[in-house]
């Protein structure tokens, strides 16, 4: 048994049983996220992921018997990290888009996850790619959520009655993906600021006019 593999099977005193295993899984997922994001799914061998995680190939196989199984865990982890954050003004009729701006700012500190997503987006166009079904579900979930929330605001009379809700959902999803690629190429690019400017234009175009304040002055 190699020293690395031996480390994964010994539980240090005072630690709950299973905590070492969870730590090892997190280490594997982190290594897989970085390497697959850089090299792509097919070009990344499990032996390289094992080495990056400080494990033997046998030790890695104990936690993830196949690269597809590991990719599933990586995508599940990404979903956990990619939940919509709270908007600064949750009562705004545009809160669902405000949340995307906040998320863009958060993602600027998650380079490996952003790179993984951008890489898999290109690869998973192929229907045979193991991430294809996940990618379809991801976009369906985002587009349905944003469209539904905007439609709810439109029907409630809180945004313009002609607001193209589905188009806006597709537009901001595409903008966010494109800005992420630009940021990966140029880390000085501010994704959140760029998306916030687009949102400001959308709000100006489709928000309801601000009502004039009532004149409460009385004639003498």
pLDDT in tens, 61-101: 999 999 999 999 999 998 888 776 666 677 899 999 999 99
Question: In this predicted structure, what is the pLDDT of residue 86?
Answer: 65
Determine the Cα–Cα distance for residues 78 and 59; give it in Å rounded to an integer. Answer: 23
Sorting pLDDT into bands at 50, 70 and 90, what band is 33? Answer: very high
* Domains of the chain and any CATH numbers: 3-9+16-73 (1.10.10.60), 82-205 (1.10.357)
Query: Distances in Å between the alpha carbon of 5 and those of 14, 55, 63?
Result: 20, 6, 12
Of 50-54, 160-164, 208-212, the poorest mean pLDDT is in 208-212
Average pLDDT on 124-135 reads 96
Region 171-190: mean pLDDT is: 98
What pTM was estimated for this model as a whole? 0.81
Tell me the per-residue pLDDT of 189-201, one tens digit each, with 9 for 90 and over.
Answer: 999 999 999 999 9
């Amino acid at each position: 048994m190699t020293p690395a593999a031996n480390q994964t099977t010994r539980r240090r005193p005072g630690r709950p049983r299973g905590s070492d295993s969870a730590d090892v899984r997190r280490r594997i997922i982190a290594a897989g996220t970085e390497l697959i994001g850089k090299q792509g799914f097919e070009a990344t061998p499990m032996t390289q992921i094992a080495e990056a995680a400080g494990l033997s190939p046998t030790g890695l196989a104990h936690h993830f018997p196949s690269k597809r199984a590991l990719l599933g865990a990586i995508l599940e982890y990404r979903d956990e990290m990619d939940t919509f954050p709270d908007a600064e003004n949750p009562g705004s009729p545009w809160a669902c888009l405000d949340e995307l701006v906040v998320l863009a700012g958060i993602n600027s500190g998650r380079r490996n996850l952003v790179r993984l997503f951008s890489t898999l987006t290109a690869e998973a166009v192929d229907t045979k790619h193991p991430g294809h079904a996940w990618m379809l579900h991801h976009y369906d979930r985002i587009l349905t959520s944003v469209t539904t929330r905007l439609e709810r605001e439109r029907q409630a009379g809180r945004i313009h009655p002609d607001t193209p809700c589905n188009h806006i959902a597709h537009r901001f999803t595409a903008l966010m993906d494109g800005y992420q690629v630009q940021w990966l190429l140029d880390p000085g690019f501010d994704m959140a600021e760029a998306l916030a400017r687009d949102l400001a234009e959308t709000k100006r175009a489709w928000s309801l006019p601000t009502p004039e304040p009532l004149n409460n002055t009385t004639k003498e």
